[in-house]
A and B are shown apart, each in its own frame.
Chain A
Amino acid sequence: MRSKISRSLFTLVVLTAVLLVGLAPLQAQPTATVEWWGWNPSIERAQAFIDAFNVTYPDIQVNYTFNQYNDYLNVLRLGVTSGSDPDVFGLQAGALVSEYQDFLLDLTPLLQETYGDSWRDRFYALGIDPLTSGDVTYALPWYLSAAGYLWYNQYLLDQYGLSAPTTWQEWIDVTKTFNDNGITGFVQGARDAWVNYDMYIALANEIAPGKIYQAEAGEVPWTDPDLVMAMDYWRQMFENGIMQEGALGVAQYPDARELWIQGKAAGILMGSWNTDSMEKNAYAVMQESLGFDEVYSFLPFLFPDINGDGEPGRLFGGPDVALAINTSTDVPEAAWTFLNWMTSEEAQALQGSFLNVPALVGIPLNEEAVNTDSERAALGQILSDLENSIGKREFLYLDLRTALADALQNVATGVQSPEDAMAAVEAVSQTVDRSGS
């Protein structure tokens, strides 16, 4: 009888096992496959690069895995630390590069072998500097971006006889005029921390250029009057009408940007990457999917002058996406071939054609890709503004980043005064271990 029981149980277990094993898919392994992971670009955009790559290198198959940024951080952490999942993967400069450095293949020897000792000259310093430390190159910039532009819908400005604001007061007035006419004068997805930093860095750099970077390095306290003043300007935005009602519940992507693209909002804080809104194809896609048909010009304007020196704000930025090779890749040669191609003139020209600022010096943005003359003029302006940028956008210390994000939200909601909020940031700043970098 016992044998009968065990036989029945055994059969059951075997049946279940057979069922489950049958469900595991059998996957064929091609000879040279490079797994590329990222949160940017989109799947379609990535495919355009892969297709172009395969024209020259048909024997290397590239698979791209896309995730939204927060999900990507989760997925990447598990994938990279588990051994061999991605071969090439995207990173943001700053904290991400330093957290992952144990897993980033040093690219310097490969670069020297391929381009000689002057390999660095191929890249804009703004793009390559944050990705190197001493002689080690952790990643290569794939394209650059800088924040600090107010983008306006020129059609709406013209319609109400306005121009983009050049001072704080003008910004308040322009916004009010739009708001009075049923159009959101300025829109911010203040639910997202990154766009709030961008605003704070823009304010701080306009009030006291460069001081925020000294504070990051611990050389100046965050309670410095200029930095507190920047926080107070941020507070005012929620009272003087610049920030739209409910800004804190809105995401910059897609919510806020969609309102702006649709012409329901006139202005938005973005950076050089927002050139994709000018792109003809994208524009057509948006017109169709969002159901509007007016002809707009989307133009970038430097941040308004706040300190009264008569100069507008300057951009701040660096690599938008940096590409790195996983130290434990199974296909180091193929991975390098792919990465090297992604930073080649050919791939960078493709970036230019998508209106992303190329990481290589001397590659233009594609003027054919935009609709209007004023947009064409803006493309050249963006490259020179970028070279004139004041500093970086990504912080090195995540604790500090979080503290600043909390401070911005607390001030925006009135929970903390600017002074208290900056004191809280300074308290965190004093605990940051800056020795590692």
Chain B
Amino acid sequence: MFDHNRPVVTFIAQAILTLLAIIFALPLVAVIGVSLRGEGLQNYVTVLTHPLFPRFFLNSAVVTAGTIVLVFVVTWLAAYAFSKLKFRGKPLLFNMVIMGLLLPSIALIVPIYITFRQLGLFNSYLALILPYTAFTAPFTLLLVRNFLDTVPDELLDAARIDGCSSLTALMWIVLPVSKAISAVVVVWTFLQSWNEYFLALVFMQDSSMRTVTQVPQFFTGEFSVDVTKVFASLVLISLPVIIAYLFLQKSFEQGVTSGAIR
């Protein structure tokens, strides 16, 4: 839409973008600045050597990995069926799942708690993996189903000639052409489960089972908040999601293009 032969246009665009980028980057710069105040990098060392930090990190990693696997499997099976297979009541069932997006988890904590009480799941990784999956999968289903609707049926028909089952077709024909949308599912689920605060707070009461979003609390002591260490921990707990995003950035962008826009 731009007239590419006009350098003045490019210059103005560059100026506006730089200004906006500076505004958006300032809070990030401020966080790093605060985290280095006082004892400098020693703040990071203090956080990293906190006796519970590795454990929290591990807990978050396990919960996140488990959620990603479960969301991935559940989403692909359902999205494939909703897009490519035939069964009765499809629109109704689809809308029913999508409605799951509408309620904040805060309104559902008590009933989930009751379910877990009956299943005896407290302080286990499943106590987070299962609800995270239930809250994330409706959205990823929407994305993947939208993507699959754009995949031509001919691709599958060809597979059928070779005598593939529908599941084999999903795994060997559809998934290999769906790396980008898969990256969106993975990144999105990673963000949702790594960053979750409230359910983790309520369902993991055993202090060895807490997750990284609870770390700042441990530097909010009785006598004072150690702001510099809180901020160092903020940076540290954000690093994995930032790295995950940077790592999958390209596929993520392609995936958003193919899935989200409908």
Q: Do chains A and B touch in the complex (CB under 8 A)?
A: yes
Which of chain B's residues have a CB closer than 8 A to the CB of A68?
217, 220
Q: Residues 186-230 of chain B: 1 if any A CB is under 8 Å from the residue's CB, otherwise 0?
A: 000000000000000110011101000000010011111110000
A19-27, A165-173, A311-319 - interface stretch: A19-27
- CB contact under 8 A between A67 and B201, given known A78-B109, A83-B117: yes
CA distance A41 to B221 in the complex (A): 10
B19 contacts A by Cβ under 8 Å: no
Is A75 in contact with B202, judged by CB distance below 8 angstroms?
yes
A102-110, A285-293, A402-410, A419-427 - interface stretch: A285-293
Which of chain B's residues have a CB closer than 8 A to the CB of A71?
201-202
A3-11, A54-62, A218-226 - interface stretch: A3-11
CA distance A291 to B40 in the complex (A): 13
Which of chain A's residues have a CB closer than 8 A to the CB of B117?
82-83
Is A8 in contact with B224, judged by CB distance below 8 angstroms?
no
B255 contacts A by Cβ under 8 Å: no
Is B222 in contact with A286, judged by CB distance below 8 angstroms?
no
CA distance A379 to B125 in the complex (A): 48
Which of chain A's residues have a CB closer than 8 A to the CB of B222?
41-42, 44-45, 276, 282
Which of chain B's residues have a CB closer than 8 A to the CB of A12?
73, 167
A79 contacts B by Cβ under 8 Å: yes
Is A1 in contact with B205, judged by CB distance below 8 angstroms?
no
Which of chain B's residues have a CB closer than 8 A to the CB of A41?
222
CA distance A151 to B113 in the complex (A): 43
CB-nearest residue of chain A to B124: A24
How many residues in B have their beta carbons less than 8 Å from beta carbons of A? 36
Q: Residues 35-52 of chain A: 1 if any B CB is under 8 Å from the residue's CB, otherwise 0?
A: 001000111110000000
Minimum Cβ distance to chain A for residue B9 (Å): 43
B126 contacts A by Cβ under 8 Å: yes
Is A25 in contact with B124, judged by CB distance below 8 angstroms?
yes
B66 contacts A by Cβ under 8 Å: yes
Which of chain A's residues have a CB closer than 8 A to the CB of B122?
85
Is A5 in contact with B167, judged by CB distance below 8 angstroms?
yes
Minimum Cβ distance to chain A for residue B239 (Å): 23
Q: Which of B70, B166, B202 contacts A16, CB < 8 Å?
A: B70
- Chain B interface, >50% SS class: helix
CA distance A85 to B205 in the complex (A): 10
Which of chain A's residues have a CB closer than 8 A to the CB of B126?
20, 23-24
Is B125 in contact with A24, judged by CB distance below 8 angstroms?
yes
Which of chain B's residues have a CB closer than 8 A to the CB of A310?
none
Minimum Cβ distance to chain B for residue A147 (Å): 18
A258 contacts B by Cβ under 8 Å: yes
Is B205 in contact with A65, judged by CB distance below 8 angstroms?
yes
Which of chain A's residues have a CB closer than 8 A to the CB of B202?
71, 74-75, 78
B232 contacts A by Cβ under 8 Å: no
Is A9 in contact with B129, judged by CB distance below 8 angstroms?
no
B97 contacts A by Cβ under 8 Å: no
Which of chain A's residues have a CB closer than 8 A to the CB of B226?
289
- CB contact under 8 A between A289 and B168, given known A16-B69, A23-B126, A83-B117: no
B110 contacts A by Cβ under 8 Å: yes
Minimum Cβ distance to chain B for residue A85 (Å): 7
B62 contacts A by Cβ under 8 Å: yes
B100 contacts A by Cβ under 8 Å: no
A203 contacts B by Cβ under 8 Å: no
CB proximity to A under 8 Å, residues B123-137: 123-126, 129
CA distance A141 to B129 in the complex (A): 39
Residues of B in contact with A (beta carbons under 8 Å apart): 38, 62, 66, 69-70, 73, 109-110, 113-114, 117, 121-126, 129, 165-168, 201-202, 205-207, 209, 217, 220-226
What 6 pairs across the A-B complex have the smallest Cβ distances? A254-B225, A42-B222, A24-B124, A23-B125, A82-B117, A8-B167
Known: A65-B206, A78-B110. 12 other contacts (CB 8 A): A8-B168, A16-B69, A25-B209, A37-B205, A43-B207, A44-B222, A45-B222, A71-B201, A82-B113, A82-B114, A83-B117, A285-B223
Q: 22 A-B residue contacts at CB 8 Å? A: A5-B165, A9-B167, A12-B73, A19-B66, A20-B66, A23-B124, A24-B124, A25-B209, A27-B123, A41-B222, A42-B221, A44-B222, A66-B207, A68-B217, A75-B205, A78-B113, A78-B202, A254-B220, A258-B224, A258-B225, A282-B223, A291-B38
